[in-house]
Amino acid sequence: MGLASLFFAGVLIDNFVFSRFLGLCPFLGVSRRLEAAIGMGMAVTFVMTVSSGTAWVAEHYFLAPFGLTYLRTIAYIIIIASLVQGAEMVLGWVSPVLQASLGTYLPLITTNCAVLGVALLNAQAGYGFWQSVVHGVAGAVGFGLALFLFAGVRERLELADVPPALAGMPVVFLAAGLASLAFLGFQGWAVH
């Protein structure tokens, strides 16, 4: 599978939110307003890209040589968490403005299931370094796309006349299910 097809497969066919059901808590938590959704999407893109690459390095230069691949999950968690923490410190020094726009979201998504999921899926599929990074970017873009689309849906839901029994979260879950059904249509695509 080429890098381009890997990218499109990751964004649409295997969308992290709508097909794999990963990262649902930030998806539902921050999709209320478009502005926050964009900030979250940027933060996720940053973290998932960096963590895919780092996880590959950790896998091939630390876990595999020592025969510790069964510790993959816990090792990835501490590596990614400290990496994000360090990146935030550096970001705060280099560009306080960028840090302010990403800063709120970075600690919130440190090793959420989508971020950890992309690293584990890379290891399971046996991707190379660049494949891992592209898959990470694709997953994050797919997550950002889902967040962006759904923020639009929710801004309209706020104004809709919802039956009292469904008001609030229930109707949001229904809408998320419908959006997921729409993305199911992409499953028919074959990517080479």
Q: Which residues bind other proteins (CB under 8 A)?
A: 29-30, 32, 36, 39-40, 62, 66-68, 71, 74-75, 78-79, 82, 85-86, 89-90, 92-94, 96, 100, 103-105, 108
Looking at the Cβ atoms of 78 and 181, the one nearer to other proteins is 78
Burial readout 106-140 (b: 16 or more C-beta within 10 A, e: otherwise): beebbbbbbbbbbbebbbeeebeeebbbbbbbbbb
Looking at the Cβ atoms of 85 and 187, the one nearer to other proteins is 85
Tokens at residue 120, please? Answer: 């584990």
Q: Nearest approach, Cβ of 67 to other proteins (angstroms)?
A: 7
Q: Nearest approach, Cβ of 75 to other proteins (angstroms)?
A: 6
Looking at the Cβ atoms of 16 and 105, the one nearer to other proteins is 105
Sequence-ordered alpha helix ranges (H) in the chain: 3-8, 24-29, 34-58, 72-94, 96-103, 105-109, 113-125, 129-159, 169-184
Q: Nearest approach, Cβ of 51 to other proteins (angstroms)?
A: 13
